[in-house]
């Protein structure tokens, strides 16, 4: 990032007021927030109106609530009623995925015992009661299915108990759930996708990078499209990758799509061989086009601000 920038000015050691003064001093036209209300955010800089145009993008899936935040960048699917900011719509999905070509191609083979392996490698905090309800419906519809989950921390015993008991209450025995212990290493994590036939999304807070990782490893991902931004992320990734057919509108459709994929072994074989290359050619991995769209957005935001302030100046002088 430093090598790509014309200038690099660290603000980390400054308080919000002093940081805002530095931004003003350098006459920044468009200031972008990428953290929202998450750890170590700097929304206090934006609250002080450090730049003429201020925009929130990519790192937070809700309104900042700030009167001084002008825009949120979107693909047009966000409901403006949920946001204090204006919605600046891009003509494409507003995120991009860079796949790791160094990873080996999928080594997946069908389970010789006929077991269908469903799975999710999301953090356990995303596996809500609503998610367990959804997954249990799938497991009941596919009696030969088992579920593979992955620990993301060394000690996940509390989460194990919550998840297995939640599924048992919904008619899915603990014997049908396998919990992979945590081991460090990205390649090892990605190779676990060779054990999954179909990846299940979480609700209401969807998979993000996890969904893209599964697709990159040739695994079909099935998502339910919800009403809020966080519950529409996976659907956006799937459409951008060219697989809108894996987006469900409700639980019944979700179960149908997963079941059809589970039964279609030949389709899943083809996906393992072709999906990575197709994904790399898709909108989801087209970083150059996304960059051009963002450039246009930033220029458009500033031009809009400039026109508004020109009118104010004219009215004041009149």
- What is the CATH classification number for the domain harbouring 22? 3.40.50.11380
Instruction: Assess whether 80 and 158 both reside in one domain.
Output: no
Instruction: Say what the pLDDT of residue 176 is.
Output: 97
pLDDT band at 318 (very low <50, low <70, confident <90, very high): low
Q: Give the residue-averaged pLDDT of 50-63.
A: 93
Q: Give the residue-averaged pLDDT of 131-150.
A: 97
Instruction: Spell 132-158 as b/e; 16+ CB within 10 A means b.
Output: bebbbbbbeebeebbbbbbbeeeebee
Instruction: Assess whether 219 and 193 both reside in one domain.
Output: yes
Instruction: Assess whether 280 and 291 both reside in one domain.
Output: no
Q: Is the pLDDT of residue 240 over 60?
A: yes
Enumerate the β-bridge partners of residue 145.
Answer: 116
Domain presence at residue 7: no
Instruction: Assess whether 73 and 176 both reside in one domain.
Output: no
Q: Give the residue-averaged pLDDT of 16-31.
A: 98
Task: Tell me the residue range of the domain where 41 lies.
Answer: 16-96+287-317
Domain presence at residue 127: yes
- Token readout for 243 is 């697989």
Domain presence at residue 8: no
Question: Could you read off the pLDDT of 296-315 as tens digits, one per residue?
Answer: 999 999 999 999 888 877 77
Q: Give the residue-averaged pLDDT of 105-132.
A: 94
Domain presence at residue 220: yes
The side-by-side arrangement of strands in the sheet containing 71-74 is 30-33, 53-56, 71-74, 86-89
Q: Give the residue-averaged pLDDT of 189-196.
A: 95
Instruction: Assess whether 185 and 304 both reside in one domain.
Output: no
Instruction: Assess whether 141 and 275 both reside in one domain.
Output: yes
Q: Is the pLDDT of residue 57 over 70?
A: yes
Given the structure tokens 């002088």, which residue do they identify? 317
CB neighbour class for 57 (10 Å; exposed up to 12, middle 13-18, buried from 19): buried
Instruction: Assess whether 247 and 127 both reside in one domain.
Output: yes
Instruction: Say what the pLDDT of residue 219 is.
Output: 97
Domain count, the chain: 2
pLDDT band at 78 (very low <50, low <70, confident <90, very high): low
Measured distance CA(69)–CA(56) in Å, rounded = 7
Q: Give the residue-averaged pLDDT of 115-129.
A: 96
Instruction: Assess whether 146 and 42 both reside in one domain.
Output: no
Looking at every residue in the chain, the average pLDDT score rounds to: 94
Instruction: Assess whether 305 and 234 both reside in one domain.
Output: no
Domain presence at residue 184: yes
Q: What percentage of the chain exceeds 70 in pLDDT?
A: 98
Domain presence at residue 308: yes
Instruction: Assess whether 52 and 188 both reside in one domain.
Output: no
pLDDT band at 79 (very low <50, low <70, confident <90, very high): low
Instruction: Say what the pLDDT of residue 228 is.
Output: 82
Instruction: Say what the pLDDT of residue 88 is.
Output: 94
Measured distance CA(295)–CA(289) in Å, rounded = 10
Domain presence at residue 218: yes
Q: Which of 27-41, 200-214, 302-316 has the lowest mean pLDDT?
A: 302-316
Q: Give the residue-averaged pLDDT of 71-99.
A: 86
Instruction: Say what the pLDDT of residue 254 is.
Output: 97
Looking up residue 173, the CATH number of its domain turns out to be 3.40.50.2000
Domain presence at residue 58: yes
Given the structure tokens 């998502």, which residue do they identify? 223
Q: What angle do CA 270, 275, 277 make, to 5 degrees?
A: 125
Q: Give the residue-averaged pLDDT of 185-194.
A: 94
Instruction: Say what the pLDDT of residue 80 is.
Output: 61
Measured distance CA(164)–CA(273) in Å, rounded = 33
Phi-psi region for residue 171, left (φ > 0), alpha (ψ -120 to 50) or beta?
A: left
Instruction: Assess whether 219 and 259 both reside in one domain.
Output: yes
Instruction: Say what the pLDDT of residue 81 is.
Output: 73
Instruction: Assess whether 252 and 267 both reside in one domain.
Output: yes
Phi-psi region for residue 185, left (φ > 0), alpha (ψ -120 to 50) or beta?
A: left
Q: Give the residue-averaged pLDDT of 77-96.
A: 84
């Amino acid at each position: 990032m430093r090598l790509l920038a014309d200038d690099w000015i660290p603000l980390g050691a400054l308080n919000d007021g002093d940081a805002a003064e530095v931004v003003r001093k350098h006459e920044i036209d468009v200031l972008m927030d990428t953290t929202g209300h998450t750890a170590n955010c700097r929304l206090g800089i934006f609250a002080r109106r450090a730049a003429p145009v201020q925009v929130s993008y990519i790192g937070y899936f809700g309104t900042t609530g700030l009167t001084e935040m002008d825009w949120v960048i979107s693909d047009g699917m966000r409901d403006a009623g949920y946001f204090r900011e204006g919605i600046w719509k891009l003509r494409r999905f507003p995120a991009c995925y860079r796949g790791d070509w160094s990873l080996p191609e999928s080594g997946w083979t069908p389970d010789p015992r006929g077991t269908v392996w469903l799975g999710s490698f999301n953090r356990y905090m995303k596996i809500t009661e609503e998610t367990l309800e959804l997954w249990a419906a799938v497991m009941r519809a596919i009696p030969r299915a088992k579920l593979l989950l992955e620990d993301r921390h060394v000690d996940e015993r509390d989460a194990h108990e919550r998840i297995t008991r939640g599924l048992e209450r919904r008619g899915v025995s603990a014997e049908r759930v396998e919990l992979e212990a945590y081991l460090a290493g990205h390649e090892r994590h990605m190779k676990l996708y060779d054990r999954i036939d179909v990846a299940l999304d979480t609700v209401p807070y969807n998979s993000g990078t996890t969904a893209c990782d599964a697709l990159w490893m040739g695994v079909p991902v099935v998502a339910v499209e919800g009403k809020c931004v966080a519950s529409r992320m996976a659907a956006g990734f799937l459409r951008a990758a060219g697989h809108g057919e894996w987006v469900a509108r409700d639980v019944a459709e979700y179960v149908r799509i997963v079941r059809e994929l589970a039964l279609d072994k030949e389709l899943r074989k083809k996906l393992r061989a072709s999906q990575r290359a197709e994904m790399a050619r898709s909108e989801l991995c087209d970083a150059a086009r996304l960059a051009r769209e963002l450039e246009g957005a930033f220029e458009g935001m500033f031009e809009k601000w400039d026109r508004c302030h020109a009118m104010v100046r004219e009215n004041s002088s009149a």
